[in-house]
Chain A
Amino acid sequence: MNRTNALIELDAVTKSFASFEVLKGISLSVKDGEAVCIIGPSGSGKSTILRCINGLIPIDGGRIRVGEIEVHKLRSEKEMRPLRHRVAMVFQQYNLFPHRTALQNIMMAPVQVLGHDRREVEERAHRLLAKVRLSNKADAYPGQLSGGQQQRVAIARALAMEPQVILFDEVTAALDPETVKEVLTAIRELVDEGLTCILVTHEMKFAREVAERVCFTDHGRIVESGPPAQIFDAPQDPRTREFLGQVL
Protein backbone atom coordinates (compact mmCIF):
# COMPACT_ATOMS: atom_id res chain seq x y z
CA MET A 1 0.00 0.00 0.00
CA ASN A 2 1.18 3.49 -0.77
CA ARG A 3 1.57 4.96 2.69
CA THR A 4 1.98 8.58 1.72
CA ASN A 5 -1.49 8.97 0.25
CA ALA A 6 -3.14 7.55 3.38
CA LEU A 7 -5.53 9.93 5.11
CA ILE A 8 -5.02 8.37 8.53
CA GLU A 9 -1.84 6.73 9.63
CA LEU A 10 -1.01 5.06 12.92
CA ASP A 11 2.55 3.95 13.43
CA ALA A 12 3.56 1.69 16.34
CA VAL A 13 1.08 3.32 18.71
CA THR A 14 1.37 2.23 22.34
CA LYS A 15 -0.88 3.12 25.24
CA SER A 16 -0.99 2.00 28.87
CA PHE A 17 -3.50 2.63 31.62
CA ALA A 18 -1.42 2.58 34.79
CA SER A 19 0.67 -0.59 34.40
CA PHE A 20 -1.76 -2.24 31.96
CA GLU A 21 -0.60 -2.03 28.34
CA VAL A 22 -3.75 -1.73 26.24
CA LEU A 23 -2.16 -0.99 22.85
CA LYS A 24 1.11 -2.76 22.13
CA GLY A 25 2.15 -1.18 18.86
CA ILE A 26 -0.76 -0.53 16.53
CA SER A 27 0.03 0.32 12.93
CA LEU A 28 -2.78 1.06 10.57
CA SER A 29 -3.38 3.27 7.59
CA VAL A 30 -6.66 4.29 6.07
CA LYS A 31 -7.04 5.86 2.64
CA ASP A 32 -9.41 8.68 1.84
CA GLY A 33 -12.86 7.25 1.21
CA GLU A 34 -12.02 3.86 2.61
CA ALA A 35 -14.21 1.93 5.06
CA VAL A 36 -12.22 -0.11 7.55
CA CYS A 37 -13.80 -2.42 10.12
CA ILE A 38 -12.07 -3.36 13.35
CA ILE A 39 -13.23 -6.58 14.93
CA GLY A 40 -11.94 -8.47 17.95
CA PRO A 41 -12.80 -9.72 21.39
CA SER A 42 -13.97 -7.23 23.99
CA GLY A 43 -11.14 -5.63 25.93
CA SER A 44 -8.71 -6.01 23.03
CA GLY A 45 -8.34 -2.24 22.68
CA LYS A 46 -10.69 -1.41 19.80
CA SER A 47 -12.32 1.58 21.47
CA THR A 48 -8.96 2.78 22.66
CA ILE A 49 -7.66 2.87 19.08
CA LEU A 50 -10.57 5.09 18.02
CA ARG A 51 -10.19 7.38 21.03
CA CYS A 52 -6.51 7.83 20.25
CA ILE A 53 -7.19 8.77 16.64
CA ASN A 54 -9.29 11.80 17.57
CA GLY A 55 -7.14 12.70 20.55
CA LEU A 56 -9.61 11.86 23.31
CA ILE A 57 -6.80 10.01 25.05
CA PRO A 58 -3.11 10.80 24.67
CA ILE A 59 -0.79 8.05 23.48
CA ASP A 60 2.44 6.94 25.14
CA GLY A 61 4.49 6.10 22.05
CA GLY A 62 4.33 5.98 18.29
CA ARG A 63 2.80 8.41 15.85
CA ILE A 64 -0.70 9.24 14.62
CA ARG A 65 -1.35 11.40 11.59
CA VAL A 66 -4.73 12.54 10.26
CA GLY A 67 -4.31 14.49 7.03
CA GLU A 68 -1.53 16.93 7.83
CA ILE A 69 -2.36 16.96 11.56
CA GLU A 70 0.16 15.14 13.75
CA VAL A 71 -2.11 14.03 16.55
CA HIS A 72 0.64 12.83 18.89
CA LYS A 73 2.09 16.35 18.97
CA LEU A 74 -1.10 18.08 20.06
CA ARG A 75 -0.99 19.08 23.71
CA SER A 76 -4.14 21.03 24.58
CA GLU A 77 -7.83 20.82 23.78
CA LYS A 78 -7.43 24.04 21.87
CA GLU A 79 -4.82 22.54 19.57
CA MET A 80 -7.14 19.58 19.01
CA ARG A 81 -9.88 21.74 17.53
CA PRO A 82 -8.97 21.32 13.85
CA LEU A 83 -8.66 17.58 14.46
CA ARG A 84 -12.09 17.37 16.09
CA HIS A 85 -13.57 19.26 13.17
CA ARG A 86 -12.12 16.76 10.77
CA VAL A 87 -12.78 13.56 12.75
CA ALA A 88 -16.23 12.93 14.20
CA MET A 89 -17.18 10.07 16.48
CA VAL A 90 -20.34 8.08 17.20
CA PHE A 91 -20.53 6.16 20.46
CA GLN A 92 -22.08 2.93 21.63
CA GLN A 93 -24.16 4.76 24.24
CA TYR A 94 -25.24 7.51 21.79
CA ASN A 95 -24.22 10.22 24.30
CA LEU A 96 -26.77 12.71 23.03
CA PHE A 97 -27.26 15.74 25.25
CA PRO A 98 -30.49 14.90 27.09
CA HIS A 99 -31.39 18.52 27.85
CA ARG A 100 -31.55 19.45 24.16
CA THR A 101 -33.90 18.36 21.38
CA ALA A 102 -32.73 16.26 18.46
CA LEU A 103 -32.46 19.34 16.25
CA GLN A 104 -30.54 21.29 18.91
CA ASN A 105 -28.21 18.35 19.47
CA ILE A 106 -27.28 18.49 15.81
CA MET A 107 -27.00 22.27 15.62
CA MET A 108 -25.10 23.00 18.84
CA ALA A 109 -21.53 22.25 17.91
CA PRO A 110 -21.51 23.69 14.36
CA VAL A 111 -22.91 26.97 15.72
CA GLN A 112 -21.09 27.13 19.07
CA VAL A 113 -17.78 25.51 18.17
CA LEU A 114 -17.31 26.13 14.46
CA GLY A 115 -19.12 29.47 14.48
CA HIS A 116 -21.17 28.66 11.41
CA ASP A 117 -24.20 30.74 10.56
CA ARG A 118 -27.23 29.57 12.57
CA ARG A 119 -29.70 29.67 9.69
CA GLU A 120 -27.39 27.76 7.42
CA VAL A 121 -26.78 25.17 10.17
CA GLU A 122 -30.50 24.79 10.78
CA GLU A 123 -31.03 23.99 7.12
CA ARG A 124 -28.16 21.51 7.27
CA ALA A 125 -29.64 19.91 10.41
CA HIS A 126 -33.04 19.42 8.79
CA ARG A 127 -31.38 17.95 5.73
CA LEU A 128 -29.41 15.52 7.91
CA LEU A 129 -32.48 14.55 9.91
CA ALA A 130 -34.21 13.74 6.64
CA LYS A 131 -31.20 11.72 5.60
CA VAL A 132 -31.44 9.53 8.72
CA ARG A 133 -35.25 9.43 8.26
CA LEU A 134 -36.13 11.34 11.41
CA SER A 135 -37.61 14.56 10.01
CA ASN A 136 -40.64 14.19 12.25
CA LYS A 137 -38.53 13.91 15.43
CA ALA A 138 -36.72 17.26 15.21
CA ASP A 139 -38.31 18.58 18.40
CA ALA A 140 -38.19 15.36 20.41
CA TYR A 141 -35.83 15.08 23.37
CA PRO A 142 -33.43 12.11 23.41
CA GLY A 143 -35.40 10.56 26.28
CA GLN A 144 -38.45 10.37 24.01
CA LEU A 145 -36.62 8.49 21.25
CA SER A 146 -35.88 4.80 20.88
CA GLY A 147 -32.28 3.62 20.95
CA GLY A 148 -32.13 3.30 17.20
CA GLN A 149 -33.56 6.76 16.72
CA GLN A 150 -31.12 8.24 19.22
CA GLN A 151 -28.23 6.60 17.44
CA ARG A 152 -29.36 8.01 14.10
CA VAL A 153 -29.57 11.48 15.66
CA ALA A 154 -26.03 10.92 16.94
CA ILE A 155 -24.92 10.08 13.40
CA ALA A 156 -26.60 13.23 12.09
CA ARG A 157 -24.87 15.21 14.85
CA ALA A 158 -21.51 13.84 13.76
CA LEU A 159 -22.25 14.61 10.11
CA ALA A 160 -23.26 18.18 10.95
CA MET A 161 -19.62 18.91 11.75
CA GLU A 162 -18.91 18.13 8.07
CA PRO A 163 -16.09 15.78 9.01
CA GLN A 164 -13.74 14.00 6.68
CA VAL A 165 -13.70 10.88 8.82
CA ILE A 166 -16.23 9.29 11.16
CA LEU A 167 -15.29 6.80 13.85
CA PHE A 168 -18.07 4.40 14.85
CA ASP A 169 -17.57 2.60 18.15
CA GLU A 170 -19.90 -0.42 18.37
CA VAL A 171 -22.80 1.84 17.53
CA THR A 172 -25.31 -1.01 17.31
CA ALA A 173 -24.17 -2.97 20.36
CA ALA A 174 -26.75 -1.39 22.69
CA LEU A 175 -29.68 -1.68 20.28
CA ASP A 176 -32.57 -4.13 19.89
CA PRO A 177 -32.09 -6.49 16.96
CA GLU A 178 -34.93 -4.91 15.00
CA THR A 179 -33.50 -1.39 15.25
CA VAL A 180 -29.95 -2.43 14.38
CA LYS A 181 -30.91 -2.54 10.73
CA GLU A 182 -32.07 1.06 10.49
CA VAL A 183 -28.78 2.29 11.93
CA LEU A 184 -26.68 0.04 9.71
CA THR A 185 -28.62 1.28 6.68
CA ALA A 186 -27.74 4.86 7.59
CA ILE A 187 -24.07 3.97 7.94
CA ARG A 188 -24.01 2.00 4.71
CA GLU A 189 -25.25 5.08 2.83
CA LEU A 190 -22.38 7.13 4.21
CA VAL A 191 -19.85 4.53 3.16
CA ASP A 192 -21.40 4.39 -0.32
CA GLU A 193 -21.11 8.17 -0.56
CA GLY A 194 -17.39 7.84 -0.01
CA LEU A 195 -17.01 9.14 3.53
CA THR A 196 -13.96 7.70 5.25
CA CYS A 197 -15.17 5.43 8.06
CA ILE A 198 -13.51 3.37 10.74
CA LEU A 199 -16.02 1.03 12.29
CA VAL A 200 -15.64 -1.08 15.38
CA THR A 201 -18.40 -3.63 15.12
CA HIS A 202 -19.66 -7.04 16.10
CA GLU A 203 -21.95 -7.24 13.08
CA MET A 204 -19.84 -9.61 10.99
CA LYS A 205 -22.29 -9.74 8.10
CA PHE A 206 -22.31 -5.96 7.90
CA ALA A 207 -18.52 -5.80 8.09
CA ARG A 208 -18.23 -8.26 5.24
CA GLU A 209 -20.61 -6.19 3.10
CA VAL A 210 -19.38 -2.64 3.65
CA ALA A 211 -15.73 -2.88 4.61
CA GLU A 212 -12.92 -2.69 2.11
CA ARG A 213 -10.63 -3.96 4.80
CA VAL A 214 -11.09 -5.75 8.11
CA CYS A 215 -8.62 -5.66 10.99
CA PHE A 216 -8.72 -8.26 13.73
CA THR A 217 -7.34 -7.09 17.08
CA ASP A 218 -6.41 -9.15 20.09
CA HIS A 219 -4.62 -8.10 23.27
CA GLY A 220 -3.61 -4.71 21.94
CA ARG A 221 -2.25 -5.88 18.61
CA ILE A 222 -3.62 -6.03 15.08
CA VAL A 223 -3.22 -9.73 14.53
CA GLU A 224 -4.44 -9.87 10.98
CA SER A 225 -5.85 -7.51 8.41
CA GLY A 226 -7.04 -7.78 4.84
CA PRO A 227 -10.07 -7.77 2.58
CA PRO A 228 -13.20 -9.18 4.26
CA ALA A 229 -13.26 -12.23 2.04
CA GLN A 230 -9.79 -13.18 3.18
CA ILE A 231 -10.37 -12.54 6.89
CA PHE A 232 -13.75 -14.25 7.09
CA ASP A 233 -13.23 -17.11 4.66
CA ALA A 234 -9.56 -17.86 4.97
CA PRO A 235 -8.22 -16.49 8.26
CA GLN A 236 -4.49 -17.15 8.66
CA ASP A 237 -3.99 -16.66 12.40
CA PRO A 238 -5.35 -19.26 14.85
CA ARG A 239 -6.66 -16.51 17.12
CA THR A 240 -8.70 -15.03 14.29
CA ARG A 241 -10.07 -18.46 13.51
CA GLU A 242 -10.99 -19.06 17.14
CA PHE A 243 -12.73 -15.66 17.45
CA LEU A 244 -14.68 -16.08 14.24
CA GLY A 245 -15.65 -19.57 15.29
CA GLN A 246 -17.23 -18.10 18.42
CA VAL A 247 -19.14 -15.24 16.80
CA LEU A 248 -20.18 -16.62 13.43
Chain B
Amino acid sequence: MQWPLTYHEKKRVVQLAIVLALAGWIAADALLGGAAYWQRVWLRLPLLLTGSGSGWPLTGGFALNIFLGLGSMALAAIMGTLLAFGMMAKSRLVRLPCFFVMNFLRNSPWLVLLFAMLYIIPFNVRLFGVSIAVPAFVKAVIGLSLPTAANFAEIIRGAVQSIHSGQWEAARALGYMPMAIYSRIILPQALRRMIPGWMNLYALLMIATSLATVTGIQDVLTTLNTLLSMENERVIVYFYITTLFLFFAYCYPIALLARRMEQSVKGDTL
Protein backbone atom coordinates (compact mmCIF):
# COMPACT_ATOMS: atom_id res chain seq x y z
CA MET B 1 0.00 0.00 0.00
CA GLN B 2 1.26 3.45 -0.87
CA TRP B 3 0.96 6.65 1.07
CA PRO B 4 -1.34 8.59 0.89
CA LEU B 5 -4.15 6.04 0.87
CA THR B 6 -6.90 6.18 -1.72
CA TYR B 7 -10.50 6.54 -0.57
CA HIS B 8 -11.03 2.85 -1.18
CA GLU B 9 -8.02 1.83 0.91
CA LYS B 10 -9.05 4.13 3.75
CA LYS B 11 -12.46 2.48 3.74
CA ARG B 12 -10.82 -0.94 3.94
CA VAL B 13 -8.68 0.14 6.88
CA VAL B 14 -11.67 1.47 8.80
CA GLN B 15 -13.67 -1.70 8.08
CA LEU B 16 -10.78 -3.86 9.26
CA ALA B 17 -10.44 -1.78 12.44
CA ILE B 18 -14.14 -2.21 13.24
CA VAL B 19 -14.02 -5.98 12.70
CA LEU B 20 -10.87 -6.31 14.82
CA ALA B 21 -12.35 -4.20 17.63
CA LEU B 22 -15.49 -6.33 17.59
CA ALA B 23 -13.53 -9.58 17.61
CA GLY B 24 -11.31 -8.25 20.42
CA TRP B 25 -14.28 -7.22 22.50
CA ILE B 26 -15.98 -10.59 22.06
CA ALA B 27 -12.77 -12.44 22.94
CA ALA B 28 -12.21 -10.32 26.04
CA ASP B 29 -15.80 -10.82 27.09
CA ALA B 30 -15.48 -14.58 26.53
CA LEU B 31 -12.43 -14.70 28.78
CA LEU B 32 -14.32 -12.80 31.48
CA GLY B 33 -17.00 -15.48 31.73
CA GLY B 34 -18.92 -14.89 28.51
CA ALA B 35 -17.80 -18.27 27.18
CA ALA B 36 -20.40 -20.05 29.27
CA TYR B 37 -23.16 -17.92 27.80
CA TRP B 38 -21.95 -18.50 24.27
CA GLN B 39 -22.08 -22.19 25.10
CA ARG B 40 -25.78 -21.90 25.91
CA VAL B 41 -26.38 -20.02 22.67
CA TRP B 42 -24.52 -22.70 20.72
CA LEU B 43 -26.68 -25.37 22.33
CA ARG B 44 -29.86 -23.58 21.27
CA LEU B 45 -28.67 -22.58 17.82
CA PRO B 46 -30.38 -25.50 15.99
CA LEU B 47 -33.66 -24.45 17.57
CA LEU B 48 -33.17 -20.85 16.50
CA LEU B 49 -32.31 -21.89 12.97
CA THR B 50 -34.93 -24.55 12.31
CA GLY B 51 -37.50 -24.43 15.06
CA SER B 52 -36.65 -27.95 16.25
CA GLY B 53 -34.08 -28.71 18.92
CA SER B 54 -32.36 -31.38 16.87
CA GLY B 55 -32.12 -29.20 13.76
CA TRP B 56 -34.65 -31.23 11.77
CA PRO B 57 -37.40 -30.98 10.48
CA LEU B 58 -37.64 -27.34 9.46
CA THR B 59 -40.67 -26.23 11.41
CA GLY B 60 -39.79 -22.64 12.18
CA GLY B 61 -36.98 -20.43 13.37
CA PHE B 62 -34.77 -18.63 10.91
CA ALA B 63 -35.65 -21.15 8.19
CA LEU B 64 -39.26 -19.96 8.41
CA ASN B 65 -38.08 -16.37 7.94
CA ILE B 66 -36.33 -17.48 4.77
CA PHE B 67 -39.47 -19.23 3.49
CA LEU B 68 -41.50 -16.18 4.41
CA GLY B 69 -39.11 -13.91 2.56
CA LEU B 70 -39.08 -16.10 -0.55
CA GLY B 71 -42.87 -16.52 -0.56
CA SER B 72 -43.50 -12.81 -0.12
CA MET B 73 -40.96 -11.95 -2.79
CA ALA B 74 -42.55 -14.33 -5.29
CA LEU B 75 -46.02 -12.92 -4.64
CA ALA B 76 -44.65 -9.36 -4.71
CA ALA B 77 -42.95 -10.04 -8.05
CA ILE B 78 -46.26 -11.04 -9.63
CA MET B 79 -48.28 -8.19 -8.12
CA GLY B 80 -45.48 -5.66 -8.63
CA THR B 81 -45.13 -6.52 -12.32
CA LEU B 82 -48.85 -6.08 -12.89
CA LEU B 83 -48.81 -2.83 -10.93
CA ALA B 84 -45.83 -1.54 -12.92
CA PHE B 85 -47.52 -2.22 -16.24
CA GLY B 86 -50.61 -0.52 -14.86
CA MET B 87 -48.56 2.55 -13.97
CA MET B 88 -47.08 2.67 -17.46
CA ALA B 89 -50.41 2.15 -19.22
CA LYS B 90 -51.52 4.65 -21.81
CA SER B 91 -54.99 5.07 -20.34
CA ARG B 92 -55.30 7.43 -17.40
CA LEU B 93 -58.14 5.32 -16.10
CA VAL B 94 -55.68 2.50 -15.47
CA ARG B 95 -52.62 4.58 -14.66
CA LEU B 96 -53.97 6.84 -11.93
CA PRO B 97 -55.47 4.14 -9.69
CA CYS B 98 -52.27 2.12 -10.02
CA PHE B 99 -50.21 5.13 -8.97
CA PHE B 100 -52.51 5.67 -6.02
CA VAL B 101 -52.20 2.06 -4.88
CA MET B 102 -48.42 2.12 -5.31
CA ASN B 103 -48.02 5.34 -3.33
CA PHE B 104 -50.37 4.16 -0.62
CA LEU B 105 -48.54 0.87 -0.13
CA ARG B 106 -45.08 2.38 -0.39
CA ASN B 107 -45.81 4.98 2.24
CA SER B 108 -47.49 2.79 4.83
CA PRO B 109 -45.54 1.33 7.75
CA TRP B 110 -44.93 -2.35 7.08
CA LEU B 111 -46.02 -3.35 10.55
CA VAL B 112 -49.35 -1.58 10.11
CA LEU B 113 -49.98 -3.35 6.83
CA LEU B 114 -49.14 -6.63 8.48
CA PHE B 115 -51.60 -6.00 11.31
CA ALA B 116 -54.21 -4.86 8.81
CA MET B 117 -53.93 -8.11 6.85
CA LEU B 118 -54.10 -10.04 10.08
CA TYR B 119 -57.54 -8.61 10.78
CA ILE B 120 -58.86 -8.11 7.24
CA ILE B 121 -58.20 -11.63 5.97
CA PRO B 122 -60.69 -14.01 7.62
CA PHE B 123 -59.63 -17.20 9.39
CA ASN B 124 -61.64 -19.19 6.90
CA VAL B 125 -62.44 -18.54 3.29
CA ARG B 126 -65.18 -20.31 1.41
CA LEU B 127 -64.16 -21.37 -2.06
CA PHE B 128 -66.66 -23.33 -4.19
CA GLY B 129 -68.48 -24.33 -1.06
CA VAL B 130 -65.35 -25.64 0.65
CA SER B 131 -64.16 -23.89 3.75
CA ILE B 132 -60.42 -23.40 3.79
CA ALA B 133 -58.51 -22.23 6.83
CA VAL B 134 -56.07 -19.40 6.23
CA PRO B 135 -52.92 -20.08 8.23
CA ALA B 136 -51.09 -17.20 9.88
CA PHE B 137 -48.14 -17.89 7.60
CA VAL B 138 -50.23 -17.07 4.53
CA LYS B 139 -51.43 -13.85 6.13
CA ALA B 140 -47.84 -12.91 6.90
CA VAL B 141 -46.82 -13.62 3.29
CA ILE B 142 -49.62 -11.43 1.96
CA GLY B 143 -49.01 -8.69 4.51
CA LEU B 144 -45.30 -8.46 3.70
CA SER B 145 -45.78 -8.80 -0.04
CA LEU B 146 -47.96 -5.69 -0.30
CA PRO B 147 -45.33 -3.04 0.43
CA THR B 148 -42.74 -5.18 -1.36
CA ALA B 149 -44.90 -5.27 -4.48
CA ALA B 150 -45.18 -1.49 -4.50
CA ASN B 151 -41.41 -1.12 -4.26
CA PHE B 152 -40.95 -3.84 -6.86
CA ALA B 153 -43.19 -1.92 -9.24
CA GLU B 154 -41.30 1.31 -8.66
CA ILE B 155 -38.01 -0.43 -9.47
CA ILE B 156 -39.49 -1.65 -12.77
CA ARG B 157 -40.89 1.76 -13.63
CA GLY B 158 -37.66 3.54 -12.73
CA ALA B 159 -35.55 1.17 -14.82
CA VAL B 160 -37.86 1.40 -17.83
CA GLN B 161 -37.92 5.18 -17.67
CA SER B 162 -34.16 5.34 -17.31
CA ILE B 163 -33.80 3.91 -20.82
CA HIS B 164 -32.91 6.79 -23.12
CA SER B 165 -35.87 8.09 -25.13
CA GLY B 166 -33.75 7.72 -28.28
CA GLN B 167 -34.26 3.97 -28.00
CA TRP B 168 -38.01 4.45 -28.34
CA GLU B 169 -37.57 6.79 -31.22
CA ALA B 170 -35.17 4.52 -33.10
CA ALA B 171 -37.43 1.51 -32.58
CA ARG B 172 -40.50 3.40 -33.75
CA ALA B 173 -38.62 4.66 -36.80
CA LEU B 174 -37.84 1.02 -37.64
CA GLY B 175 -41.54 0.20 -37.57
CA TYR B 176 -41.79 -1.62 -34.24
CA MET B 177 -45.18 -1.63 -32.50
CA PRO B 178 -45.30 -0.43 -28.85
CA MET B 179 -45.61 -3.92 -27.36
CA ALA B 180 -42.68 -5.20 -29.41
CA ILE B 181 -40.63 -2.18 -28.37
CA TYR B 182 -41.17 -3.11 -24.74
CA SER B 183 -40.43 -6.80 -25.14
CA ARG B 184 -37.53 -6.64 -27.59
CA ILE B 185 -35.78 -3.37 -26.82
CA ILE B 186 -36.75 -1.69 -23.56
CA LEU B 187 -37.22 -4.58 -21.13
CA PRO B 188 -34.06 -6.52 -22.06
CA GLN B 189 -32.05 -3.40 -21.28
CA ALA B 190 -34.08 -2.37 -18.25
CA LEU B 191 -33.86 -5.84 -16.69
CA ARG B 192 -30.14 -5.38 -16.10
CA ARG B 193 -30.92 -2.26 -14.11
CA MET B 194 -33.78 -3.85 -12.18
CA ILE B 195 -31.95 -6.87 -10.80
CA PRO B 196 -29.72 -5.00 -8.30
CA GLY B 197 -32.77 -3.07 -7.06
CA TRP B 198 -34.72 -6.28 -6.60
CA MET B 199 -31.86 -7.84 -4.66
CA ASN B 200 -31.71 -4.87 -2.31
CA LEU B 201 -35.46 -5.08 -1.91
CA TYR B 202 -35.21 -8.77 -1.07
CA ALA B 203 -32.59 -8.07 1.59
CA LEU B 204 -34.86 -5.40 3.05
CA LEU B 205 -37.83 -7.77 2.97
CA MET B 206 -35.79 -10.45 4.70
CA ILE B 207 -35.07 -8.05 7.55
CA ALA B 208 -38.75 -7.11 7.68
CA THR B 209 -39.80 -10.76 8.06
CA SER B 210 -38.87 -10.37 11.73
CA LEU B 211 -42.02 -8.22 12.03
CA ALA B 212 -44.11 -11.28 11.22
CA THR B 213 -43.70 -12.42 14.79
CA VAL B 214 -46.88 -10.41 15.46
CA THR B 215 -48.89 -12.93 13.44
CA GLY B 216 -47.86 -15.63 15.88
CA ILE B 217 -45.96 -17.81 13.42
CA GLN B 218 -42.96 -19.68 14.84
CA ASP B 219 -40.34 -17.51 13.18
CA VAL B 220 -36.93 -16.84 14.67
CA LEU B 221 -38.17 -14.04 16.91
CA THR B 222 -41.11 -15.98 18.32
CA THR B 223 -38.81 -18.93 18.92
CA LEU B 224 -36.31 -16.65 20.60
CA ASN B 225 -38.93 -15.16 22.90
CA THR B 226 -40.19 -18.57 23.95
CA LEU B 227 -36.65 -19.67 24.55
CA LEU B 228 -35.68 -16.64 26.57
CA SER B 229 -38.45 -17.22 29.07
CA MET B 230 -36.44 -20.29 30.10
CA GLU B 231 -33.05 -18.59 30.23
CA ASN B 232 -31.57 -16.26 32.78
CA GLU B 233 -31.45 -12.55 32.13
CA ARG B 234 -27.74 -12.21 31.56
CA VAL B 235 -27.75 -14.58 28.58
CA ILE B 236 -30.49 -12.71 26.69
CA VAL B 237 -28.01 -10.24 25.22
CA TYR B 238 -26.00 -13.07 23.71
CA PHE B 239 -29.08 -14.54 22.07
CA TYR B 240 -30.09 -11.22 20.59
CA ILE B 241 -26.60 -10.59 19.23
CA THR B 242 -26.69 -14.02 17.63
CA THR B 243 -30.07 -13.39 16.01
CA LEU B 244 -28.88 -10.02 14.77
CA PHE B 245 -25.87 -11.72 13.25
CA LEU B 246 -28.06 -14.32 11.53
CA PHE B 247 -29.92 -11.61 9.64
CA PHE B 248 -26.72 -9.75 8.90
CA ALA B 249 -24.95 -12.85 7.63
CA TYR B 250 -27.87 -13.61 5.32
CA CYS B 251 -28.58 -10.11 4.01
CA TYR B 252 -25.20 -8.45 3.78
CA PRO B 253 -23.79 -10.67 1.01
CA ILE B 254 -26.94 -10.04 -1.03
CA ALA B 255 -26.62 -6.29 -0.62
CA LEU B 256 -22.93 -6.51 -1.44
CA LEU B 257 -23.57 -8.46 -4.62
CA ALA B 258 -26.29 -5.99 -5.60
CA ARG B 259 -23.84 -3.12 -5.20
CA ARG B 260 -21.30 -4.91 -7.39
CA MET B 261 -23.89 -5.38 -10.11
CA GLU B 262 -24.99 -1.77 -9.85
CA GLN B 263 -21.42 -0.68 -10.45
CA SER B 264 -21.08 -2.90 -13.50
CA VAL B 265 -24.39 -1.69 -14.95
CA LYS B 266 -23.26 1.90 -14.45
CA GLY B 267 -20.32 1.19 -16.75
CA ASP B 268 -22.68 0.45 -19.66
CA THR B 269 -22.84 3.04 -22.34
CA LEU B 270 -26.41 4.23 -22.59
Give the residue of B166, B175, B269 whose beta carbon is less than 8 angstroms from that of A85: B175
Give the residue of A85, A99, A109, A113 whose beta carbon is less than 8 angstroms from that of B189: A99
Contacts of A114 in B (CB 8 A): 175
Closest to B176 in A: A113
Which of A76-84, A215-223, A227-235 lies at the binding interface? A76-84
Asked if A161 lies at the interface with its beta carbon under 8 angstroms from chain B, I say: yes
B residues apposed to A, CB below 8 Å: 164, 166-167, 169-178, 180, 184-185, 188-189, 192, 268-270
Contacts of B177 in A (CB 8 A): 77-78
Q: Judge whether A84 and B270 touch: CB under 8 Å.
A: no
Contacts of B172 in A (CB 8 A): 56, 77, 84
What is the distance, in angstroms, from A107's C-beta to the closest C-beta of chain B? 11
Contacts of A148 in B (CB 8 A): none
What is the distance, in angstroms, from A75's C-beta to the closest C-beta of chain B? 14
Contacts of A98 in B (CB 8 A): 189, 268-270
Q: Judge whether A80 and B175 touch: CB under 8 Å.
A: yes
What is the distance, in angstroms, from B186's C-beta to the closest C-beta of chain A? 10
Contacts of B192 in A (CB 8 A): 99
Contacts of B169 in A (CB 8 A): 56, 91, 95
Q: Judge whether A161 and B189 touch: CB under 8 Å.
A: no
**7 pairs, CB–CB < 8 Å, chain A vs chain B:** A56-B173, A88-B174, A91-B166, A93-B164, A93-B166, A97-B170, A98-B269
What is the distance, in angstroms, from B194's C-beta to the closest C-beta of chain A? 14
Cα distance, A84 to B177, chains bound together (Å): 11
Closest to B181 in A: A77
Contacts of A56 in B (CB 8 A): 169, 172-173
If the complex has contacts A98-B270, A99-B188, A143-B268, are A113 and B173 also in contact, measured as CB distance less than 8 A?
no
Q: Judge whether A54 and B184 touch: CB under 8 Å.
A: no
In this complex, the member of B166, B173, B185, B270 whose beta carbon has the largest number of chain A beta carbons within 10 angstroms is B173
Asked if A108 lies at the interface with its beta carbon under 8 angstroms from chain B, I say: yes
Q: Judge whether B176 and A112 touch: CB under 8 Å.
A: yes
Q: Judge whether B167 and A84 touch: CB under 8 Å.
A: no
The secondary-structure label for the interface of chain B is helix
Closest to B163 in A: A98
What is the distance, in angstroms, from A150's C-beta to the closest C-beta of chain B? 9
If the complex has contacts A98-B189, A98-B270, A99-B188, are A109 and B167 also in contact, measured as CB distance less than 8 A?
no
Q: Judge whether A84 and B170 touch: CB under 8 Å.
A: no
Give the residue of B167, B175, B269 whose beta carbon is less than 8 angstroms from that of A113: B175
Q: Judge whether B173 and A54 touch: CB under 8 Å.
A: yes
Asked if A89 lies at the interface with its beta carbon under 8 angstroms from chain B, I say: yes
Cα distance, A95 to B178, chains bound together (Å): 17
Cα distance, A54 to B188, chains bound together (Å): 26
A side interface size, CB within 8 A: 26
A residues apposed to B, CB below 8 Å: 54, 56, 77-78, 80-81, 84-85, 88-89, 91, 93, 95-99, 108-109, 112-114, 142-143, 157, 161
Q: Judge whether B175 and A84 touch: CB under 8 Å.
A: yes
What is the distance, in angstroms, from B178's C-beta to the closest C-beta of chain A? 6
What is the distance, in angstroms, from B268's C-beta to the closest C-beta of chain A? 6
Contacts of B184 in A (CB 8 A): 108, 112
Cα distance, A114 to B177, chains bound together (Å): 12
What is the distance, in angstroms, from B51's C-beta to the closest C-beta of chain A? 45
Cα distance, A142 to B164, chains bound together (Å): 15
Closest to B172 in A: A56
Cα distance, A108 to B167, chains bound together (Å): 14
Closest to B167 in A: A95
Cα distance, A77 to B189, chains bound together (Å): 22
Q: Judge whether A84 and B268 touch: CB under 8 Å.
A: no
If the complex has contacts A78-B177, A113-B176, are A142 and B269 also in contact, measured as CB distance less than 8 A?
yes
Closest to A86 in B: B175
What is the distance, in angstroms, from B250's C-beta to the closest C-beta of chain A? 32
Give the residue of A80, A93, A112, A143 whose beta carbon is less than 8 angstroms from that of B180: A112
Contacts of A77 in B (CB 8 A): 172, 177-178
Contacts of A96 in B (CB 8 A): 170
Cα distance, A143 to B270, chains bound together (Å): 8
Contacts of A84 in B (CB 8 A): 172-175
In this complex, the member of B174, B178, B192 whose beta carbon has the largest number of chain A beta carbons within 10 angstroms is B174
Top 10 closest pairs, chain A to chain B, by CB: A95-B170, A84-B175, A109-B174, A95-B166, A143-B269, A113-B175, A89-B173, A93-B166, A99-B188, A98-B270
Contacts of B270 in A (CB 8 A): 98, 142-143
Contacts of A99 in B (CB 8 A): 188-189, 192
If the complex has contacts A56-B169, A95-B166, A97-B167, are A109 and B175 also in contact, measured as CB distance less than 8 A?
yes
Contacts of A81 in B (CB 8 A): 175
Contacts of B188 in A (CB 8 A): 99
Closest to A81 in B: B175
What is the distance, in angstroms, from B8's C-beta to the closest C-beta of chain A? 25
